[in-house]
Structure formats: structure tokens, C-alpha cells
Amino acid sequence: MTLALGRVPVQPDAPTARRWAQQELTDPVYHRGRSLLERIVDWIAQQLSGLHTAGLPAPAAVLVVVAVLAVIAAVAFWVAGPVRRNHRSPRTRGVLAHDDRRSAARMRADADAAAARGDWSTAVVERFRAIVRSLEERAVLDELPGRTAHEAAGEAGGRLPTVSAELSRAAQLFDDVAYGDAHPSAGDDAALRDVDRRVAAARRESRPSLAGATR
């Protein structure tokens, strides 16, 4: 909120101060942290209500109001900005989108194209997606859009125990790259290529039937 000093009341009273704070909070960026900001505004309004009775000179009163509004803006940015966006719910970290109908072969091709241009982040993400899609195509996993990387690795690892550890490491790499700040290398992409080959070669563990177990 930008204040033109020529239009600011020289002695802002309590109602004026509260109105300024409320007007500042109409910006949508404040809404996401409403509970915290309400408490802050209540405290600020109490402080502003004493400006007139404290007998501060007009220039000093204006500077106090501007400083307080700057504090509100800073706190709101912290609450609703990048810090909060970095803490996304794990349930939103799906591997395959609902509208992604590509085959595993298509995803591998997209990963190869990304690797060819040195885009290792895209290559790693698409490579892991290809692994999950291939498991769905083989009916090792049910088709389930929105499944997280660790959910996919856990379910598939239970059915393909020989590659369970590799799948878990691959899932962690996917999360670190897709939803974190990791910067993968050509070596990471090569490692996922190897996981893809191992998963393709792994055979689903056969479990003895109940009838056979009771004989």
C-alpha cells in the first residue's frame, strides 16, 4: 500500500489507523495466512490507537504508520509466499497426472530427448514416470493417477522384491527433483535407465495358494 504523504492525516486517530490496516488486508495475498495476520493486526491497531494520545508530531506519526504497514506486508509475504509453497502436502506429489495417457515407451522417448539436450531434471522425472507406467502396463500396479512416487515404489517393491531397494531410491530421486531443489546429473539419469531395465526384467513373485499351503 503506497501512502502519499500529502494526503495522509497529520494526526491519524484510532479509527483511521484501523481502517488503513483493514484496507491493506483486502489484498488477496493476506488471506492464506488469515489467522496469524488477524492477531498481528489486532496488536498493531492497539499500538496505532495510541498515536494521537501520545502526542507524536505529525511527521513521526506518518513514519510509524508506514513502518507498521511495511511489517504487515512482510509478514504476509512470509506466510503466503515461497515459504508456504515449499511445504506442499505429500498427497499432491503425484507421479502421473490424470490426463497423462502416454505409454511407457513415449515417456522413455521424452526422457531420451531431454537427456540429449542436457535437461537432466526432465530426463529423470520422465524416466521415473516411464517406470511407473510400465508397471501399470504389466499389471504389477493398478492404474491410479495421482499416486505418489513412494506409494508406487512401495506397492511395486512388494510384488517385485528383487528391485524393491532400487525403486525406493528412484522414488526419492524423483521427489527431490520434481518437488525439491535437487539438480540431477547425467549419472542420475543413467542410474534410472538401469533401474528401468532391472524393473523390466524382474518377475512378479508368485505366492503359494491357500489350498497348497494347507496340504
Q: Same domain, yes or no, for 147 and 81? A: no
Output 147 or 86, whichever has higher pLDDT.
Answer: 147
Q: Same domain, yes or no, for 185 and 126? A: yes
User: Which of 79-83, 179-183, 185-189 has the highest mean predicted lDDT (pLDDT)?
Assistant: 185-189
> Which triple of cell numbers denotes residue 171?
522414488
Query: What is the pLDDT, as a whole number, of residue 94?
Result: 86
Q: Is residue 214 part of a domain?
A: no
pLDDT digits (tens, 9 = 90+) for 186-211: 999 999 999 999 999 998 765 443 34
The residue count of the chain comes to: 215
Query: What single-letter amino acid sits at 50?
Result: G
Q: Is residue 210 part of a domain?
A: no
Q: Same domain, yes or no, for 104 and 170? A: yes
Listed residue (38, 65, 73) closest to 49, CA to CA? 65
Contact 134, 199 (CB under 8 A): yes
69: left (phi over 0), alpha (psi -120 to 50) or beta: alpha
pLDDT digits (tens, 9 = 90+) for 82-140: 444 444 444 467 899 888 999 999 999 999 999 999 999 999 999 999 999 999 999 99
* Global pTM value: 0.56
Q: Same domain, yes or no, for 49 and 129? A: no
Output 59 or 175, whichever has higher pLDDT.
Answer: 175
**Percent share of the chain, pLDDT over 90:** 45
Domain that holds residue 74: 8-85
Q: Same domain, yes or no, for 65 and 159? A: no
Question: Domain total for the chain?
Answer: 2
Give the domain-ending residue among 57, 85, 113: 85
C-alpha pair distances (Å), 9 with each of 59, 63, 65: 10, 12, 11
Q: Is residue 213 part of a domain?
A: no
